[in-house]
Homo-oligomer: A and B are copies of this chain.
Amino acid sequence: MARGVNKVILIGNVGGDPEVRYLPNGNAVANVTLATSDSWKDKQTGQQQERTEWHRVVFFGRLAEIVGEYVRKGSKLYIEGRLQTREWEKDGVKRYTTEIVVDIGGQMQLLDGRPQGGEGMAPRPQQSRPAPQRQAQQPQQQQQPAQPQAQQMPDYDSFDDDIPF
């Protein structure tokens, strides 16, 4: 149920291989940056201008797993999600990061099965990926308070600090 509408629709290219993590409850989370670009002719100079916008997209659940397997740097994606701004702190000062959350109620479509590397649509090999913890949660994780909601995830610490927004 919702009062209001909060909808984002993007088509763009992925800036790097997705980072996939697993929450203590076994739910997958995948982070991706997505570039959309606009070009227009400057009225003053007549020059063709271009501006690229980078978006932080966070997938949860089943879509996160699909992203981890099939999406790579350069992939073209359609995504539908919602805007969410989370607060974090650095050196005692509050910062805010706005992301597009894609979970249930959202959508993702891989528009291009041929990203760099040329392995076609074969799933990415998964040796280096930690096993999903759906059916087998580790004991020490169950001692932590359960994660009731994806939105309440305390931190996104796997994010590179160098991508600042």
Q: Which residues of A contact B (CB under 8 A)?
A: 1-13, 35-40, 42-45, 49, 51, 53-55, 76, 78, 80, 82-85, 87, 93-98, 100, 105, 107, 109, 111-112, 146, 148-149, 151, 164-165
Query: Residues of B contacting A39 with CB < 8 Å?
Result: 1-3
- 8 residue pairs of the A-B complex, CB under 8 angstroms, read A2-B36, A4-B37, A5-B9, A8-B83, A11-B78, A43-B148, A93-B93, A96-B165
The 9 closest A-B pairs by CB, nearest first: A96-B165, A4-B36, A98-B98, A5-B11, A6-B36, A4-B12, A7-B9, A44-B148, A3-B37
Q: Point out the residues of chain B lying under 8 angstroms from A10, CB to CB.
A: 4-7, 83
**Interface SS majority for chain A:** strand
State in angstroms the CA–CA spacing of A35 and B42 once bound together: 34
Report which of B82, B96, B146 forms a contact with A44, defined as CB distance below 8 A. B146
